[in-house]
Amino acid sequence: MPNEERQAMTTIDLHTHTRASDGSDTPAELVEAAARAGVKVLAVTDHDTVAAVAAARAAGEEQGVRVLPGLEITGEVGGRVVHLLAYGEVRPRADPGRRGR
């Protein structure tokens, strides 16, 4: 790949964890490390929680890193543990009793 194309590319990381699940860094530490590594877009995808997303976004604003909200959902299929990555905003439901859509 020519150097000009490489320079035009944006470095992203779509699968990271903080101390909110099994990572070793706080949200701010994770974002700071990503910024030092040249990452411009970072998804925080802790296991089964979005608790670190707000703090990571605040740190991202300070560090110039776009933080995407994410989640690594743990489930079971056929007796095997599986992990599914999901991305997007988490919004409270208008009707918490309603399931589905």
Residue 34 belongs to a domain with what CATH number? 3.20.20.140
The overall longest dimension of the chain from CA atoms, in Å, is 55
Q: What's the CA gap between 42 and 30, in Å, rounded?
A: 9
Q: Residue 100: pLDDT above 60?
A: no
Task: State the residue range of the domain holding 44.
Answer: 3-87
Residue 9 is predicted with a pLDDT of 78
The number of folded domains in the chain is: 1
**Strands across the sheet containing 39-44:** 11-16, 39-44, 66-77, 80-87
pLDDT digits (tens, 9 = 90+) for 38-86: 999 999 999 999 999 999 999 999 999 999 999 999 999 999 999 999 9
Average pLDDT of the chain is 90
Between 31 and 3, the higher pLDDT residue: 31
